[in-house]
Amino acid sequence: PYTGPSAAEILKKRQEYLSPSLFHFYSNPLNSVDGKMQYLFDENGRRYLDAFGGIATVCCGHCHPDVVEAIVSQTQRLQHSTVLYLNHAIAEFAEALASKMPGDLKVVFFTNSGTEANELAMMIARLYTGCHDIISLRNAYHGNAAATMSATAQCNYKFNVVQTGVHHALNPDQYRGVFGSDGLKYAKDVQDLIDYGTCGNVAGFLAEAIQGVGGILELAPGYLPAVYGTIKKAGGLCIADEVQSGFARTGSHFWGFEAHGVVPDIVTMAKGIGNGVPIGAVVTTPEIAKVLTYRTYFNTFGGNPVSTASGLAVLRVIEKEKLQENAHVVGSYLKDRLTSLKEKHEIIGDVRGRGLMLGVELVTDRQLKTPAKVETLHVMDKMKEMGVLIGKGGFYGNVFRITPPLCFTKEDAGWFSFPFSSTLYSPSFPPFANSAFVLLHDCRFPSGCDGLHDVKDVKKK
Ligand code: PMP
């Protein structure tokens, strides 16, 4: 049994010793003590179905035995910097990763996070093309360092520090976007940005195939092929940010961009690829990779033995346990169930996504698409009380993000749907008249950070 500090004690220490910008979910934050596959356990041993952890950290399940074994045996043998000597783990993982890539994408640079991966990808594009301008999409999240904060396009995540050289194109958002699902119309905006905002040439284009933090928004069909053509003509490189949509999550494909029939010049990834161990990667072609030989480029721990041993174990588990197929089968089943809930619950404005990367957007008025922010928080809290953890995001913080570990089963999907539906039916709905919550939405962030947030510390107004 757990003998560590209580949730209240941890919270107190956090408030005293940790960054004041740290946020947590829930009015009574969860003290996550143990993890096993698709479950988390609190200090009392209570089990929660984790329908969000897949993106945040875990691809094949919390503490998957094969991954734990790989991490432990590599740690017992050697953990060191990547840079100085040869080691088999990095070489084997790079080779395995390259084998999952289309075209000539086979040179891997390892980093420690998604931010670092996107920073590096943007720098490579700038060096290779000799241009500075990059186009990303409104509503995107790509990281929080200098270049990636520029590429990120939600005010919640942008601080008032120098950010240059990124133009934000109209988001091909099929639910709220001005052109609905007409990808070609949105694509025209990229040409306009190039024509009116740059010298005519650009370094590149950076986008997720399905915006994660942005609220599980799959880019309108036809958009990416058209934009990739436009960018190529302007001399730029196309970068696919697969930090959330990669590694079999979308079920139909291993990488999110594949569903759009494009082949990027650079692919970035992180989060679940090490099943919780910090690791990110940039994959590109040998020709493009050469630009980093003009100077010395290294990363002390990017691709270290333990992280890459973990990454390799993850790839093997995905294959051995057919997790991509599982994401497709279970994800389609769950999406159907959620879509049928939409017929019953007026508050569900949209159900979307692919595989085990699903989103449910709550609105108080289907015509006006008024974001149901408070209700979203309420449902999240109630679901936790009923033993199910769910994420949220979107610019308005009103989109549930359902991104479980890829070992999620149909039974889990059924179990998930029950509290979800019953919470939406709850007689106490809408619940917040005398709420003990202070919504971050109302005091600091319009949408909240990465969906991980929002009920800051419980305070009575
Ligand atoms: N790209 C995407 C699509 C992301 O969702 C995130 C993190 N939310 C990042 C990049 C940045 O990753 P990290 O937090 O590991 O720096």
Compute the distance from residue 143 Cα to the ligand 1 centre, in Å: 5
Cβ atoms of 268 and 280 within 8 Å: the answer is yes
Is the CB of residue 450 below 6 angstroms from any atom belonging to ligand 1?
yes
Q: Is the pLDDT of residue 2 over 60?
A: yes
Residues 13 and 112 both lie in one domain: no
What is the pTM (predicted TM-score) of this model? 0.93
> For residue 27, what pLDDT is reported?
86
- Per the domain annotation, does 457 fall within a domain? no
Residues 310 and 334 both lie in one domain: no
Task: From 52, 57, 115, give the residue whose CB has the most ligand 1 atoms within 8 Å, as the site to mutate.
Answer: 115
Residues 46 and 82 both lie in one domain: no
Residues 48 and 111 both lie in one domain: no
What is the spatial distance between Cα 250 and Cα 244, in angstroms, rounded to a whole number?
9
Residues 264 and 392 both lie in one domain: no
Is the CB of residue 423 below 6 angstroms from any atom belonging to ligand 1?
no
CATH number for 343: 3.90.1150.10
Count up the domains in the chain and report the number. Answer: 2
Residues 249-282: tens digit of each pLDDT: 999 999 999 999 999 999 999 999 999 999 999 9
Residues 96 and 172 both lie in one domain: yes
Residues 199 and 331 both lie in one domain: no
Residues 37 and 76 both lie in one domain: no
Residues 346-363: tens digit of each pLDDT: 999 999 999 999 999 999
Residues 26 and 138 both lie in one domain: no
**Domain, as residue range, for 251:** 65-319
With a threshold of 0.90, tell me whether the complex ipTM lies above it.
yes
What is the spatial distance between Cα 29 and Cα 106, in angstroms, rounded to a whole number?
42
What is the spatial distance between Cα 283 and Cα 108, in angstroms, rounded to a whole number?
4
Is the CB of residue 113 below 6 angstroms from any atom belonging to ligand 1?
yes
Q: Which of 281, 301, 319 is the last residue of a domain?
A: 319
Is the CB of residue 240 below 6 angstroms from any atom belonging to ligand 1?
no
Is the CB of residue 279 below 6 angstroms from any atom belonging to ligand 1?
no
Q: Which of 277, 300, 319 is the last residue of a domain?
A: 319
Residues 409 and 314 both lie in one domain: no
What is the spatial distance between Cα 412 and Cα 381, in angstroms, rounded to a whole number?
19
Residues 274 and 418 both lie in one domain: no
Residues 376 and 428 both lie in one domain: yes
Compute the distance from residue 421 Cα to the ligand 1 centre, in Å: 30
Is the CB of residue 211 below 6 angstroms from any atom belonging to ligand 1?
no
> For residue 453, what pLDDT is reported?
35
Is the CB of residue 119 below 6 angstroms from any atom belonging to ligand 1?
no
Q: Is the pLDDT of residue 307 over 50?
A: yes
What is the spatial distance between Cα 404 and Cα 440, in angstroms, rounded to a whole number?
25
> For residue 430, what pLDDT is reported?
54
Task: From 210, 243, 447, give the residue whose CB has the most ligand 1 atoms within 8 Å, as the site to mutate.
Answer: 243
Compute the distance from residue 115 Cα to the ligand 1 centre, in Å: 6
CATH number for 285: 3.40.640.10
Three-state SS string across 322-358, please? CHHHHHHHHHHHHHHHHHHHHHHCCCEEEEEEECCEE
